[in-house]
Amino acid sequence: MIDLRELRDDPDRFRASQRARGEDPTLVDRVLAADERRRSSATAFDRLRAEQKQLGKRIGQASGAEKTELLASASTLAAEVKAAEAAQNEAADEAQQLSLGLSNLVEPGVPEGGEEDYVVLEEIGAPRDFAADGFEPRDHVELGRILGAIDLERGVKVGGARQYYLTGVGALLEFALLRLAVDQAVGAGFTPVVTPSLVKPAAMQGTGFLGQAAENVYHLAEDDLYLVGTSEVPLAAYHMDEILDASSLPLRYAGYSSCYRREAGSYGKDTRGIIRVHQFEKVEMFSFCDPADAAAEHRRLLAWEKEFLDKLELPYRVIDVAAGDLGSSAARKYDCEAWIPTQGRYREVTSTSNCTGFQARRLAIRMRDAEGTRPLATLNGTLCAMPRTIVAILENHQQADGSVRVPRALRPHLGGRELLEPSAK
């Protein structure tokens, strides 16, 4: 949720942010109008309530005809107070609902435009020259079959489209990635957390996933619970309705969870393999910090993501995501995209977002320092999303015989093996 005082002070800045996102700038004016109605109705209610209290004192001191007259006035005034309270509540609800529709204020310098208007900030490592190595690369589906690592047919048989089994060295590879990611996060001072996969509506709404992203959320209507698409949701809500001491910040958590996404609107996209699936596991970094330190914390999260990809010896690039592709909560987002040889393109494997005070306001999470109590900032960053990371490892480190070289950092978590070798089956 945006800061209404900032909105009143500088509405043009918010209109510009809405336009940069490709969203409706007139919503700013509707929010301002609703906020004015809320404030004026609150003033009217307070005035009538004060009159009612004053009248009550006079009634207590009156007698006879005067008291009868005052009691009649009190009855009329009580009806007016009730009507004013209803008008105040209605105006407050309208203002609340409209402001929930406003996306976070875009950070200065974010590229304008949509999904294809990102800016490449850097490229790390060079895509491998398979022609020089003397063979045509296999895609991860074929490699997964050769290694006995990925079983797509039984995944579809049991769970339907976009479902899969990781088997044998595929499962071991995921466990190794989990261990490597958790070890790095703990070494950097993060508290490891295994988060719930089911959350209440307040957690989903508070993190902004019931707006633009609602179509990709699984809702269990009978229980009114949601399956999370990322552990960002339960991590953000972990301190919901709490006031944190500023001296304890930053609070950093590394959450591990299953993630569930409907992938609505992705018909025909990435239907082969495990690039785009309904369920996957992920290690997510999350930070609660002072808003003054949020931009620096964002860069730190990006640095930890890059460190992890460097350990996996993958070629990748970092992009500054355009405003129209940010998602409603993010003020700025950086993606790391690994090179996928058989697709001849970079694909997102990690992402980090600075959500400033947007989620904290919605979740009523505040910090207390010498200046008082105020919203803090929340940031998130994927350390390892398992399926796409596995795809990148298999395709980039494959050998001509179908084996896959294990990056050095992963070897201790795979029993010391240097190669994933074709299954004997």
- Please tell me whether residue 385 adopts helix, strand or coil conformation: strand
Q: Which of 261, 300, 332, 362 is catalytic?
A: 261
Q: Which of 284, 351, 361, 366 is catalytic?
A: 351
- Please tell me whether residue 122 adopts helix, strand or coil conformation: strand
The tokens describing 40, both together, are 């004026």
Listing DSSP states for 244-271 in one string gives: EEGGGPPEEEEEEEEEE---TT-TTSS-
Active site residue 388: yes
Active site residue 261: yes
- 344: left (phi > 0), else alpha (psi -120 to 50), else beta? left
Contact yes or no for 114/21 (Cβ under 8 A):
no
- 126: left (phi > 0), else alpha (psi -120 to 50), else beta? beta
Active site residue 6: no
Active site residue 21: no
Q: Which of 21, 162, 361, 388 is catalytic?
A: 388
State phi, psi for 407 to the nearest 5 degrees.
Answer: -55, 145
Q: How far from chain centre, in Å, is Cα 219? A: 17
Active site residue 15: no
**Dihedral over Cα of 146, 150, 152, 155: its sign:** positive
Query: Pairing state of beta strands 198-199 and 225-227?
Result: antiparallel
Listing DSSP states for 345-377 in one string gives: EEEEEEEEEE-TTHHHHHHT-EEEETTEEEE-E
In whole angstroms, give the CA distance from residue 260 to residue 70: 63
Query: Pairing state of beta strands 404-405 and 419-420?
Result: antiparallel
State phi, psi for 385 to the nearest 5 degrees.
Answer: -95, 115
Catalytic residue set = 261, 276, 348, 351, 388
